[in-house]
Amino acid sequence: MNELELTGRARTHVIDLQHPQCTLHYEAVTAFLAMRDAATADGIDLTPCSSFRDFDAQLRIWNQKWNGERAILDSECRPLEVATLSDADKLDAILRWSAIPGGSRHHWGTDIDVMDRAAMPQGYRLQLISSEYAVDGVFGRLSRWLDDHMAHFGFFRPFKADRGGVAPEPWHVSYAPVAVPAAESLSLALLRQTLQDSSVAGKPQVLARLPEIYTRFLLAIDPP
């Protein structure tokens, strides 16, 4: 991937699919569809609820959270009172669940948030919280299935454990053959230049702590 693709400022590396509806890196399409077919054979409707996300989409999420227009959650998924947070605490809280624009793995088209549509009761509202993917959660069977099968198709969970940065995201799977080299190519210098040229909210605070953000929230993942 080139620098624009790595930071979500281009979409020349991704393909829009209709069935299921999602946008993926062209090298990840076959593997994901094969994994989906295998899940279907086991009675699981493996469905993307988020896939490729470009820089502008990530920027909107970030700015809305920074400006108090979208909820910021604590590690237990409880809403925080933004007005009571210092800039440093607000930065940490946002990064717990949302990547910095330019630094999201979703920019690569390799990372997908998944659910099991077949397991959802009628009228169920997806929350994307860890309890849904626990043993007794609505997507517990999906989670076990992924543990047993996703590596065969090249996928892994980058945020399986809490490493002090991003909160555990059992719904988030990543296509290793493309995501691993992409992560190695996304340098601190490239991320800094991308953010300097952007309208990211809290830019002075973000840039001042960027080496920490890069190390703690981008590099600290569970390997394939």
- Print the domain residue range for 175: 3-219
The two three-digit tokens of residue 159, written as one number: 């945020």
Contacts 24+ apart (CB under 8 A), 35-44: 35/149, 35/150, 35/152, 35/153, 35/155, 38/149, 38/153, 39/116, 39/142, 39/145, 39/149, 42/145, 43/118, 44/116, 44/118, 44/119, 44/141, 44/142, 44/145
Domains held by the chain: number = 1
- 37 burial class (0-12, 13-18, 19+ CB within 10 angstroms)? exposed
pLDDT at residue number 85: 84
Residue 71 pLDDT: 86
Contacts of 130 (CB under 8 A, 6+ apart): 77, 167, 168, 169, 170
pLDDT in tens, 140-188: 999 999 999 999 999 999 999 999 999 999 999 999 999 999 999 999 9
176 belongs to a structural domain: yes
The answer to whether 26 touches 144, Cβ cutoff 8 Å, is no
**224: in domain:** no
Model pLDDT, residue 36: 98
- Whether 73 has a pLDDT exceeding 90, the answer reads no
> Among 28-37, 109-118, 121-130, 186-195, whose mean pLDDT is lowest?
121-130
User: For the chain, what percent of residues have pLDDT higher than 70?
Assistant: 100
pLDDT given for residue 7 in this prediction: 98
* Mean pLDDT of the region 187-210: 97
Can you give the CATH number for the domain in which 163 is found?
Answer: 3.30.1380.10
**In the chain, what percentage of residues exceed pLDDT 90?**
91
What is the distance between the alpha carbons of residues 106 and 118, in angstroms, rounded to a whole number? 25
Q: Is residue 161 part of a domain?
A: yes
Say if residue 57's pLDDT is above 90. yes
| pLDDT for residue 83 | 79
Whether the pLDDT of residue 78 is over 90: the answer is no
The candidate with the shortest Cα–Cα distance to 43, out of 181, 144, 136, is 144
Dist. CA 134–CA 128, nearest whole Å? 12
For range 179-204, the mean pLDDT:
97
